[in-house]
Amino acid sequence: MSQKEVRVRIAPSPTGDPHVGTAYVALFNYAFARRHGGKFILRIEDTDRARSTTASEEAIIRALRWLGLDWDEGPDKGGPHGPYRQSERGTIYREHAEMLIERGHAYRCFCTPERLAELRGEQQKAKASKMGYDGKCRSLSPEEADERGRGGESFTVRLKMPQEGETVLLDGLRGEIRIPNEQSDDQVLLKSDGMPTYHLANVVDDHLMGISHVIRAEEWISSAPKHLRLYEAFGWEPATFLHLPLLRNNDKNKSKISKRRNPVSLDYYRDTGIIPEAMVNFLALMGWSYGEDQEKFSLEQMVERFDLKEGSVSLSGPVFDLDKLSWLNGLYMRELSDEGLVDALMGWRVNRDYLLRLAPLVRDRIQRFDEFLPLISYCFSGDIDYTPVAALLLPKKRKGGETGKMLERLLDKLDAMPAFEVSAMEETFRLFCEGEEWSTREVFMTVRVGLTGRKASPGLFETMEVIGRELTRRRLRLAANFLKQYKG
């Protein structure tokens, strides 16, 4: 390894739940930085203004903290290379795009969204081997482009990519990867509203923040030629790239991990009582091994032995196996003293705050304290076995398949809700039932049984709000799967 200071980063886009994939990449970056006495940086890539939310940023930060993956510089901590939120760095990107235009490595493109849509349509129809922008504005003279830009015509800025030959990426984990240049079109760097795209902002920031190693997921390999081209156009020395394997579902095709198969939000694991140290240990096993067949080890132990070089990470697609996670969590649980276990449970859901949320749901339905916990035991439990309640889950005269699909459509609607609150849920359900051939009674019963395993429960929306988005999502997904296979 070269002598330069190790500086690595995790660069999540705050557009959804705190994803296990983010935690996985963060962990490997963290361990690499700590192992080499370097710095680990958190950068928020929120240039997609329509999809980025503060709530998502907060959730990501909370989840990474929960795991104990602390960073040295970041939007909450500051540091010498801030701001660490891309939405606050607009001027930097515009100046850099301008620099590339001046040097002849980028150009203004005046093609309208309509023309681009038409082009895409034609390429799809002709099943063209090369999709993407056809380079029309590349041939405009700089003078003409300047003049049209000054005249107020709307434009984007595109990177001039080489049209022939290949780009050789020297990946620190994978060795040489050769990618034909014809696979990369002239990437938009700056959108017509002056906001940068991921590619420009990412490379400019990696350089300005002194990032020495870009450790990220495999899905970015195809973007690497554009990134290397950007480094070259700016005249900068590129970082070393290392692309980690994607996490896979535990199924036959080993498909890329997805929320249809596995819960992907870290909040789900927190809410189901996974110990953060066990989660970190589990993620560490995704492609890396401690050695000597030892599967249980701490973050400190990992850091002591961790390194990233060719052969140190198995690239075949680590499987995200929930049973294995539970097994590992069990090992951590058994190490806790009775006191430690009680403290952990109180940190989880057995505490005053959670009981206070349950009280209003239950108080009018019971006469004695001893009815309290049995009535809402599903607020403390995990997956539900639907076999004994199948006849309740499935509305009369309905088939399992159609009911499962209905639940999946509802899940899509629930996923789209920004805040998981009673009033928003009421509205979502109302609109959903209006647009469906299902009666409110049928939908409610299936959801109630899917969520609680029971025919009667406190208010449905209140229950959903209390058990939270993650458990709601998980149970309704399992109920949908159960129904789709149910031959009743």
Given the rule CB under 6 A, which residues bind ligand GLU?
A: 11-13, 45, 202, 216, 220
Whole-number Cα distances in Å, 360 to 15, 193, 210, 463: 33, 48, 53, 10
Smallest gap from residue 220 Cβ to ligand GLU (A)? 5
> Among the options 136, 256, 259, 296, which is catalytic?
259
Smallest gap from residue 11 Cβ to ligand GLU (A)? 4
Select 33 or 443, whichever has its Cβ closest to ligand GLU.
33
Inter-residue contact 41 to 289 (CB < 8 Å): no
Smallest gap from residue 132 Cβ to ligand GLU (A)? 20
Select 216 or 270, whichever has its Cβ closest to ligand GLU.
216
Select 159 or 425, whichever has its Cβ closest to ligand GLU.
159
Select 47 or 457, whichever has its Cβ closest to ligand GLU.
47
Smallest gap from residue 47 Cβ to ligand GLU (A)? 9
CA distance 194 to 218: 29
CA distance 304 to 315: 22
CA distance 179 to 241: 15
Select 12 or 225, whichever has its Cβ closest to ligand GLU.
12
CA distance 114 to 132: 14
What's the CA angle centered on 275, arms 73 and 379, to 5 degrees?
115
What's the CA angle centered on 304, arms 303 and 305, to 5 degrees?
95
CA distance 444 to 482: 17
Smallest gap from residue 173 Cβ to ligand GLU (A)? 14
Q: Is 309 a catalytic residue?
A: no
Q: Which two structure tokens, joined as six digits, stand for 455?
A: 């025919």
- N- to C-terminal Cα separation, the chain: 62
User: In sequence order, what E strands does 56-124 have?
Assistant: 106-109
Q: Which residues are catalytic?
A: 259
